[in-house]
Structure 1
Amino acid sequence: MAPGKAIGMPQQVDGGRRTPLNRDSVLRAAVALADEAGIESVSMRNLAHRLGVVPMALYKHVANKEELLDGVVDVIVGEIDPPAGGADWKSAVRARVLSARRALLRHPWASRVIESRPHPTPAVLDYINSIIATFRAGGLSANLTHHVMHVLGSRMWGFTQELFPSPPPPADPELQAAMIAEMARRYPHILEVAMAANHDEGSVVGQGCDDQFEFEFALDLLLDGFERLHRQGWTSSGRS
């Protein structure tokens, strides 16, 4: 990095004049700020400071923080690979979902922002529409696709929200042993299953079992199930 060049500050051109801000540069700066300091740090004031402008300058490009967060979601969605041409529907959906997962792994805070948005943006709707289009192009009925999209849920975005997130165990070995002993006494089957496999330290959704293996295992089970129902001509009314 060149001496004296501040991280995240607008580039200087033409003898010291800043590159003019635009909506895209503001949104990408917000993503970078969230990556570095967490989504809680993203405010109009902090973003303006990062860009070296007064807060009012941002309002030319985003009306308020809610619009800023909508735009941040659009930047993340824009990192998802486009549909693969020529692939069968299962491979195509799998590739899109895993691309979404890679995007969220690059921005671990993004799942919370996606879930927090009260209304989908056009970019979000485009992504959902493209997933549905892939199922329909593969021959799945509109009725089956309706239920398929409900089942996919957050997996469409590359993460699985755990029903019961597990807090990290105590760092003290004696306390950890006591906790395990108490679990074994009161909830032996939960402990047995919890200890049956190793998981990644990190996760898109924080503590829990949403590691890469678990995610792909669940995704493949679902896609195989969707294919079986499609071949059976399943409908929710029970008529083929």
Structure 2
Amino acid sequence: MQVAVGLADAGGLESLSMRKLAQELGVEAMSLYYHVKNKDDLIDGMVDVVFSEIVLPSPGEDWKTAMRERAESARAVLARHPWAIALMRSTPGAATLRHLDATIGCLRTAGFSPAMAGHAMSLLDSYVDGFALQEAALPLDEAGGITEATEDVLAQQQMMSHAFPNLAEIAAAYILQPGYAFGNEFRFGLQVILDGIEAAHAAKEG
């Protein structure tokens, strides 16, 4: 599975085939079917490998700290494996189930009801997946900024007689400032979500 993951990382999921994987492994393509039923089964196993890289909550760890570490870890993992972003909710394997069970256990130990634990996980996972998808699509530079793309927008705006003044304002006052990185938006949003979950949990369970 690790070899298949490496191929997908290098060329995208569309570049992966059973024949190419067999060549990388130095075996006949048909021999792969002793281990997986088909390409879909292979992809399910690859997603399970990706899930195994995400940090698991530690026993007794504060739920808010654990969920923050889990979210940040998941974002980093998906940045390494962008092909997996849209597939993370596919057929779960052993590592996926272990990960979900540990996450639920952390929340339940913290006093979350089953419903509230489900709400928290759904909200956090939707945010992480959505941010990772957006991050993968943006033309980020090595520092995580979007200076070049923003400067292009500003140049177009100037030629269009300041048609987009609000966009120009936020670009000049925020995005083009030294030290800006799109990744910082993730931490801001994650904090807002965690605080919201904490408030909802206190109101519901208090």
Task: State if a TM-score over 0.5 links the two structures.
Answer: yes
TM-score (norm 2): 0.76
Instruction: Spell out, residue by residue over 1:178-205, the C-alpha distance to the aligned partner (whole angstroms, 9 max, x if none).
Output: 42336774443244335523554xxxxx
TM-aligned CA deviation for residue 224 of structure 1:
1.3
CA 177–219 in structure 1, closer or farther in 2 if over 3 Å, else same: closer
Query: In the alignment, what sits opposite 2:104?
Result: 132
Gaps of 5+ in 1: 1-26, 201-208, 235-239
CA 60–183 in structure 1, closer or farther in 2 if over 3 Å, else same: farther
Task: Write the distance in 2 (CA, Å) between the matches of 1:33 and 1:166.
Answer: 22
- Indicate the larger mover: 75-84 or 33-42: 33-42
- Residues paired across the two proteins, number: 194
Query: What pairs with 1:151-170 in structure 2 (closer than 5 Å)?
Result: 151-155=123-127, 159-162=131-134
Partner of 1:193, secondary structure, is helix
Query: In the alignment, what sits opposite 2:118?
Result: 146
Query: In the alignment, what sits opposite 2:143?
Result: none
Query: In the alignment, what sits opposite 1:45?
Result: 19
Gaps of 5+ in 2: 141-145
Task: Write the distance in 2 (CA, Å) between the matches of 1:192 and 1:67.
Answer: 49
Partner of 1:85, secondary structure, is coil
Q: Which has the larger radius of gyration?
A: 1
TM-aligned CA deviation for residue 104 of structure 1:
2.1
Query: What pairs with 1:61-76 in structure 2 (closer than 5 Å)?
Result: 61-76=35-50
CA 97–184 in structure 1, closer or farther in 2 if over 3 Å, else same: farther
TM-aligned CA deviation for residue 222 of structure 1:
0.8
Query: In the alignment, what sits opposite 2:194?
Result: 223
Task: Write the distance in 1 (CA, Å) between the matches of 2:160 and 2:120.
Answer: 36
- The one-letter code matched in structure 2 to 1:120 is P
Report the RMSD for the aligned CA atoms in angstroms. 3.2
Query: In the alignment, what sits opposite 2:158?
Result: 181
1:80/1:96 contact within 8 Å kept = yes
Relative contact order (alpha carbons < 8 A, sep ≥ 6): 1 or 2 greater?
A: 2
- Indicate the larger mover: 106-115 or 56-65: 106-115
Task: Write the distance in 2 (CA, Å) between the matches of 1:35 and 1:57.
Answer: 23
Q: Identity of paired residues, percent?
A: 40
Query: What pairs with 1:16-35 in structure 2 (closer than 5 Å)?
Result: 27-35=1-9
Partner of 2:79, secondary structure, is helix
Instruction: Spell out, residue by residue over 1:209-236, the C-alpha distance to the aligned partner (whole angstroms, 9 max, x if none).
Output: 4x2x2212211111111112222236xx
Partner of 1:30, secondary structure, is helix
CA 150–193 in structure 1, closer or farther in 2 if over 3 Å, else same: farther
- The one-letter code matched in structure 2 to 1:227 is E
Instruction: Spell out, residue by residue over 1:99-130, the C-alpha distance to the aligned partner (whole angstroms, 9 max, x if none).
Output: 22232233233214436x3x334433332332
Instruction: Give the one of 27, 30, 48 matched to 1:56.
Output: 30
**2:203 matched to 1:232?**
yes
